[in-house]
């Protein structure tokens, strides 16, 4: 049986996802928005059969099995909660929620109802990210990581608004931090420096220390362009991921003699955003409540580390 998807929030990223899904012949069955006219326009442009008056109407539709939520950051938690309470499986855009407390509540609700909830960290389902842990293991394990996601997008108003969950960390820094967490887990200690603008973090540098002696550093910012690359130093060599490391970028692994021992060039359709849906659907069909390569703990680790980073910088969202 095919899984029928509902779309809660027809914004920019929903367009990219819809295009990538269409490449596989897949479409959302229904779409809902706080502004019905936006939902109607999106449905017309992307061949979506059903348009709803609001989110609750879509969540009460028995034909909808799972919901993708690409709303703005502060809406991830309430919309995901509403969908889960209505009995829908949920794929919610990164950042999973605004903070770890919200993330844990969402996961607890899903588990209590035997529903699958997952953060839509699409990079983790691209070929080079999927193969990275094994490549690093073959090189003796990770000693240190350096990664950057800095782009000059200060013209985007939402990023500068605290009430909209703005700041570089939640929109950009979550990518290098998720990469670091995938390879090293949750840091034991984090130290941060950064600059604030209107209460949000416009740029930062975070240094992370881990129990096994490994370390990591990442930079992020929405006020300047950085390399947007990642480098993983291993005990028997190193790994480089070209710009932009979170997209379909080339990965090269080198041994201690500087020889290329592995290379991964992702070749997914479009941007590859459909891959997370395929993995999600496979887990659903097998009756699993989380994916082995991207667990609930993984997302919670990232949220807890982002809470730590924001607390050090003094970035506090309304209601926290």
Q: Residues for the chain: how many in total?
A: 320
Q: Report residue 262's pLDDT band, with 50, 70 and 90 as the boundaries.
A: very high
Q: Is pLDDT of 102 > 90?
A: yes
C-alpha–C-alpha distance, residues 132 and 135, integer Å = 5
Nearest residue to 16 (alpha-carbon basis) of 281, 266, 275, 227? 275
Q: Which pLDDT score, from 0 to 100, does residue 74 have?
A: 97
pTM above 0.75, yes or no: yes
- Listing from the earlier edge strand, what are the strands of the sheet with 30-32? 50-51, 30-32, 5-8, 66-69, 89-93, 117-120
Task: Give the count of alpha carbons within 13 A of 308, CB side only.
Answer: 18
- Average the pLDDT over 216-230 and give the result: 98
- Average the pLDDT over 247-253 and give the result: 98
Q: pLDDT by residue (tens digit) across 206-218?
A: 999 999 999 999 9
276 touches 282 (CB < 8 A): no
What per-residue string of b and e applies to 72-108 under the rule 16 or more CB within 10 Å gives b?
ebbbbbebbbbbbebebbbbbbbbbbbbbebbbebbe
Q: Which pLDDT score, from 0 to 100, does residue 122 have?
A: 98
Q: Report residue 277's pLDDT band, with 50, 70 and 90 as the boundaries.
A: very high
Q: Is pLDDT of 281 > 90?
A: yes
Phi and psi (nearest 5°) for 17? -65, -45
Q: Which pLDDT score, from 0 to 100, does residue 184 have?
A: 98
Cβ neighbors of 18 (< 8 A, separation 6 or more) are: 7, 27, 28, 46
Three-state secondary structure string covering 35-63: CHHHHHHHHHHHCCCEECCCHHHHHCCCC
Q: Which pLDDT score, from 0 to 100, does residue 1 have?
A: 79
Q: Report residue 143's pLDDT band, with 50, 70 and 90 as the boundaries.
A: very high
**In order of start, what are the domains of the chain with their CATH numbers?**
5-120 (3.40.50.720), 124-272+301-313 (3.30.360.10)
Task: Measure the N-to-C terminal CA separation of the chain; round to a whole number of Å.
Answer: 42
Cβ neighbors of 19 (< 8 A, separation 6 or more) are: 270
Phi and psi (nearest 5°) for 270? 55, -135
How crowded is residue 144: how many other Cβ atoms within 10 Å of its Cβ?
A: 17
Q: Is pLDDT of 204 > 90?
A: yes
Q: Which pLDDT score, from 0 to 100, does residue 207 have?
A: 98
Q: pLDDT by residue (tens digit) across 61-71?
A: 999 999 999 99
Tracing tokens 């480098």 back to the chain, one arrives at 231
Q: pLDDT by residue (tens digit) across 72-91?
A: 999 999 999 999 999 999 99
- Average the pLDDT over 298-307 and give the result: 98
Q: What is the mean pLDDT of the chain?
A: 97
């Amino acid at each position: 049986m095919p899984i029928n998807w509902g779309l809660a929030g027809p914004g920019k990223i929903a367009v990219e996802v819809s295009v990538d899904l269409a490449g596989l012949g897949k479409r959302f069955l229904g779409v809902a928005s706080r502004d019905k006219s936006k939902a109607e326009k999106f449905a017309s442009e992307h061949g979506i059969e059903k348009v709803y008056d609001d989110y609750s109407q879509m969540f009460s539709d028995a034909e909808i099995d799972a919901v993708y939520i690409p709303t703005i950051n502060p809406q991830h938690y309430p919309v995901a909660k509403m969908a889960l309470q209505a009995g829908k499986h949920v794929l919610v855009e990164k950042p999973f929620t605004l903070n770890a407390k919200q993330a844990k509540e969402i996961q607890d609700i899903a588990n209590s109802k035997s529903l699958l909830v997952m953060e839509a960290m699409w990079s983790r389902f691209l070929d080079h990210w999927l193969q990275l842990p094994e490549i690093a293991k073959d090189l003796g394990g990770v000693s240190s990581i350096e990664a950057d996601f800095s782009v000059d997008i200060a013209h985007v108003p939402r990023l500068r608004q605290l009430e909209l969950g703005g700041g570089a960390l939640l929109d950009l820094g979550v990518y290098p931090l998720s990469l670091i967490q995938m390879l090293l887990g949750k840091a034991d200690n984090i130290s941060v420096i950064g600059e604030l603008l209107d209460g949000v973090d416009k740029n930062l540098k975070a240094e992370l220390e881990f129990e096994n002696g490994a370390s990591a550093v990442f930079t992020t910012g929405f006020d300047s362009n950085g390399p947007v690359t990642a480098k993983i130093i291993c005990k028997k060599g190193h790994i480089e991921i070209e710009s932009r490391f979170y997209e379909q970028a080339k990965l090269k692994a080198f041994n201690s003699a500087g020889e290329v021992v592995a290379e991964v060039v992702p070749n997914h359709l479009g941007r590859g955003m459909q891959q997370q849906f395929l993995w999600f659907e496979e887990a659903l069909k097998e009756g699993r409540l989380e994916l082995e390569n991207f667990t609930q703990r993984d997302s919670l680790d990232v949220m807890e580390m982002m809470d730590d980073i924001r607390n050090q910088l003094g970035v506090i969202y309304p209601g926290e």
